[in-house]
Chain A
């Protein structure tokens, strides 16, 4: 199963980016193969619709879960329709690697 994690940097040691639509990077983690893929977010500069575009971006990669800090209302509604689970991490700062570590253990 694929999981998307918003990241502030292009390394797994980077902290989770709390924004979804305008995060710096997306990290895709495959729980079955253990592979990770890091992708720069192309929509950070959009004045509006970054969230909706980001939903499309992760959805077309077959993601089943998304981990970030905060999601907007439109985004939540879209993910609900797409049946993709949302996970919001608490305010304490965690790295993408830590999140992947938690996901691996499941």
Chain B
């Protein structure tokens, strides 16, 4: 059995649903870009981070990041050339807001409104708060009231709704992690494997030769995922494995989706 899938952290998903090619009567089957793939492109191509920095932001290893990034670029290129719509969907991600602890009432709370600069305790209103910083990569043992650190969520949480909450946060006071590390000046930095993620160069497909071969063709049921249905508008779609239907948002109407008939594969 393949190893457990690990969810990747993203801070803010895209605020729109994707792209449609102009001038095509029959755009055809959409290319699905997972949220972690979107985030990879956002961090490297838009914000200008190196692979190693972006991997740290997403709390995954650098080779893992490189694989995600390359897959993202491949999909974007495919959509570009084939004139396919590009949809942001699913992916192995979990959302996590910043968490803080109040020194006055000793409660812990999260920050939903990321644009709000000053952080106040959600319970008592005190400004005497400190950010709970992610400390280690090991899986959480307790939930909110226990120790803080967390890097990865276990995947098979079907039905185990009482399992640990994710007590992690990023860091003090700032809205987005990007302000933490300023993007470097240019591509002329040696020593990073595939630094700017250019092309299908060496090293990215190292080692196990998994994933790529299996996933290189979009459609034809090649993705081992599962079917999700929206209870509100009835929209059904195949979602990649790794994120339960209850955590997927319907791209048509925005409701949370439900499991539909499960696939027999995987």
Contact = CB atoms under 8 A, between A and B. Distances in A.
Contacts of B163: 72-73
A29 to B, nearest CB: 12
Contacts, number: 110
A85 B113 CA distance: 9
Contact of B165 (A48, A76, A103): A76
Contact of B109 (A72, A88, A99): A88
B247 A77 contact: yes
Contacts of A71: 143-144, 165
Majority SS at the chain A contact face: mixed
A74 B247 contact: yes
A47 B158 CA distance: 12
Nearest to A50: B161
A69 interface: yes
A70 B166 CA distance: 10
Interface in B81-130: 94-97, 105-113, 122-125
Nearest to B94: A77
A4 interface: no
Contacts of B180: none
Given A48-B161, A72-B162, A87-B107, A102 B144 contact: no
A9 interface: no
Nearest to A99: B123
B112 A83 contact: yes
A88 B144 contact: yes
A33 interface: no
Majority SS at the chain B contact face: loop
B143 A70 contact: yes
Interface in B145-183: 145, 153, 157, 159-166
Interface in A63-100: 65, 67, 69-78, 80-81, 83-92, 99
Contact of B161 (A75, A85, A92): A75
A74 B123 contact: no
A91 B97 CA distance: 22
Interface in B232-260: 244, 246-247, 249, 256
Q: Which of A72, A73, A88, A99 has the most CB of B within 10 A?
A: A73
Given A71-B143, A91-B145, A105-B124, A52 B105 contact: no
Interface string A1-42: 000000000000000001101100000000000000000000
A80 B111 CA distance: 9
Contacts of A92: 106
A81 B160 CA distance: 19
B249 to A, nearest CB: 7
Contact of A106 (B125, B143, B159, B246): B125
Nearest to A70: B143
A104 B183 CA distance: 44
B95 A77 contact: yes
Given A74-B244, A87-B123, A21 B162 contact: yes
10 contacts: A18-B145, A76-B165, A77-B94, A80-B97, A86-B144, A87-B122, A89-B105, A99-B123, A105-B125, A106-B124
Closest 5 CB pairs of A and B: A51-B161, A106-B125, A88-B144, A48-B159, A70-B143
Interface of B: 94-97, 105-113, 122-125, 142-145, 153, 157, 159-166, 244, 246-247, 249, 256
Interface of A: 18-19, 21-22, 47-52, 65, 67, 69-78, 80-81, 83-92, 99, 102-103, 105-106
